[in-house]
Structure 1
Amino acid sequence: MTRVLLTGGSGFIAAHVLDILLEHGHSVVTTVRSQEKADKIKEAHSKYGKDKLDFVLVEDIAKEEAFDEAVKSNPPFEAVIHTASPFHFKVTDVQKELLDPAIIGTTGILKSIKKSAPTVKRVVITSSFAAVLDPFKGNNPGYEYSEKDWNGISHEQAIENPVNGYRASKTFAEKAAWDFVEQQSPNFSVAALCPPLVLGPIVHYLNSLDALNTSNQRVRDIMQGKAKEQIPETGTFLWVDVRDLALAHVKAMEVDGAANKRFFITAGYFSNKEIAAIIKKNFPEYADKCPSDSTPGGDYPKDGIYKYNNKQTREVLGIKFTSLEQSIVDTVKSLKAVGA
């Protein structure tokens, strides 16, 4: 059993990480922004006592020293899984609303651990494929992305628009974590996880149809008939199921060989056209809302697409990936449960 601090416990990914940590017998304290969120999580895990599941309020992770008190525990923490990362869609100031919170949130928790939690031996950070992909090379046919790749975005490019800002926030925050390890020689090792689009079932007690993570909105929209005349472009053609990603977080904490490694966590390719076909095939009640085989849009690019290498994730963390069909079926079932 490991004593774990999990940040952002009510988030889409973190809620699944919490489930797996508890299943594996670990003792978890999770940060939440409000008592209401803590109460919802506690109610959904009522069989676990305070020794197995507890909460600490951190209202604003972008504040310096936000985690100073959260990292203190009795018994003391041995690991931290940092999934919390602020992201606002309506951004007027990329620096203040995207770059600063992501970087300060990541470096802030590392500083707090080094200062006040000497027993922590492993920190797992949720990064992103956005920190791997070179967005200025488009679909980059034939090129194989792996953990060795970095998004080369500059600060000048980052502040041009919110899309660049988001990608840069992920890139700069992860780089800041590695710089911290190199420069500060802390008492812990780091593992960074770089997932692309994250699909999969929502945790119903925390979500509504209006408050979905961005990735699952495309599934909801297809179910609701919004893609009947034109399927939206897919955008990122790589994906992972949230449950596989959650398990990867826990394994990156548990496995000695994950120390100071990046992991590119992807199950492979998908398109919006394939998602629509899976929904239509498995849920007859949505067939009349789904696009037909001849509906335009949502397919793979004609000039080809980049390759991917997820070997390190499979070999070091032992992840076996869920199929796209299973993931979409489970996602639709979870959306139906909240009224889709």
Structure 2
Amino acid sequence: MKVLLTGGSGFIAAHVLDILLEHGHEVITTVRSQSKADAIKSAHPNIPTSKLDFRIVEDIAQENAFDKAVQSLPDLEAVIHTASPFHFNVTDTKKDLLDPAIIGTTGILKAIKNHVPTVKRVVITSSFASIIDGSKGTRPGYTYSEKDWNPVTLEEAVQNPANGYRASKTFAEKAAWEFVEKEKPNFTVSTMCPPLVLGPIVHYLNSLDGLNTSNQRVRNLITGQCKKEIPDTGTYIWVDVRNLALCHVKAIEVAEAAQKRFFITAGYFSNKEICEIVRKNFPEYKNELPGEEVKGGDYPEGGLYKFDNSRTTEVLGIKFRGLEESIVDLVKSLKSVGA
């Protein structure tokens, strides 16, 4: 299949790219700069341009940002849209988070509908942030699933960056489903809603400073930044990036994935458990890690919400990796960039 992957140098997208190539698809990926394209190309030296090519899209928040890229791909069959901002160093929530997420998502959908009628499948990276109701706290006894939507409002979204991030994912995903409903395009949409995404980084695209937000917590542990107290876990469910990447690819390959949301999680974890896994497998970090007596980072005392990930396992056929494997592989990959 001929597939456009947006944001190809991102943490999740780099793994999606590897799996697309493994599955024999022809991949064109958007990146923000030529240097990013060069880094990806040099990491896949034996793959010809006919199987891996690039388009530069500098700013996905600009109107019509994707038009030129898709117009140059007349026989495109599928699009996997992973490009979206995720960081908390935000000065203007609307400009820095909401607009890029929403305009980026609706922009790619409009570009596909207007310029490449051959596209049949579109997959969009959303988030558990668009499912969870943050105002309800840990919500013991409640089971989250694809039917849930974060009820965050625009007024709440601009109060702080955490609200802004959750709202950006919620509004962008809702905008995608509204687009399908109103515009009745030739293509189907599937959305991927993962919680915290852990697992190995693709080293040629990363430095210790340039990590995705989810993996920063592990970097902070092994670089001695949490010796006195283990930080609160925050989000207590996770998925390995390789499982999540496979879900994106399966969603263009499996007919039953069309027009569905997928809540993609392997289960529970805590920062304290991560500490214990690193301590057990990497004795060389003993002096950087919080001591065994250090408090914090555990599960909440009153219990936690439950989750229903059955659609992901049944429709996409995913078998989830365990936390230990994911953290061990992540730490090994961080060592490769100097941790």
Preserved CA contact (<8 Å) 1:87 1:97? no
Unaligned segments of structure 1, at least 5 residues: none
Secondary structure in structure 1 of the residue aligned to 2:9: coil
Output the amino acid matched with 2:109. Answer: L
Does the 8 Å contact 1:195/1:266 carry over to 2? yes
1:317 match: 316
Cα drift, residue 75 of structure 1: 5.8
Question: Does the residue aligned with 1:209 lie in a helix, a strand or coil?
Answer: coil
What is aligned with 2:100? 101
Q: Structure 1 runs of 4+ off > 4 angstroms? A: none
Distance, in Å, in 1 between the alignment partners of 2:288 and 2:169 is 36
In the TM superposition, 1:216-227 aligns within 5 A as 216-227=215-226
Task: List aligned pairs for 1:148-227, cutoff 5 A.
Answer: 148-227=147-226
CA positional deviation for 1:73:
4.0
Q: CA RMSD in A?
A: 0.9
What does residue 293 of structure 2 align with?
A: 294
The correspondence of residues 129-148 of structure 1 with structure 2, limited to 5 A, is 129-148=128-147
Alpha-carbon distance change, 88 to 274 in structure 1, aligned in 2, over 3 angstroms: closer
C-alpha distance in 2, partners of 1:74/1:315?
Answer: 33
Q: Which residue of 2 is the match for residue 79 of structure 1?
A: 78
Cα offset for 1:293? 2.8
Q: Give 2:126's aligned amino acid.
A: S
Size of the aligned set, in residue pairs, is 339
Which residue matches 2:259? 260
In structure 1, the residue corresponding to 2:28 is in which secondary structure? strand
**Residue 50 (str. 1) matches residue 49 (str. 2):** yes
Contact preservation (8 Å) 1:113, 1:120:
yes
1:77 partner letter: L
SS of the residue corresponding to residue 326 of structure 1 reads: helix
CA distance in 2, matches of 1:234, 1:88: 17
The correspondence of residues 26-65 of structure 1 with structure 2, limited to 5 A, is 26-65=25-64
Distance 1:120 1:103, change over 3 A: same
TM-score (norm 1): 0.98
Assess if the C-alpha contact under 8 Å between 2:257 and 2:315 holds in 1.
yes
Give the drift of 1:88.
4.6
Contact 2:130 2:193 survives alignment (8 Å): yes
Larger deviation, residues 316-325 vs 224-233:
224-233
Distance of 2:269 and 2:148 partners within structure 1: 21
SS of the aligned residue for 1:149 comes to coil
* TM-score, length of structure 2 as denominator length: 0.98
SS of the aligned residue for 2:209 comes to: helix
Match of 1:7? Answer: 6
Contact 2:74 2:118 in 1 (8 A): no
Contact 1:140 1:305 in 2 (8 A): yes
1:330 corresponds to: 329
Cα distance per residue 1:174-200 (max 9 Å; x no partner): 000000000000000000000000000
The one-letter amino acid paired with 1:321 is: F
Residue in 2 that maps onto 1:305: 304
Counting aligned pairs with the same residue, the percent is 71
Q: Return the alpha-carbon distance in structure 1 between the equivalents of residues 117 and 312 of structure 2.
A: 28
Judge conservation of contact 2:77–2:120 (CA < 8 Å) in 1.
yes
Counterpart contact for 1:88–1:97, Cα < 8 Å? no
Structure 2: give runs of 5+ residues left out of the alignment: none
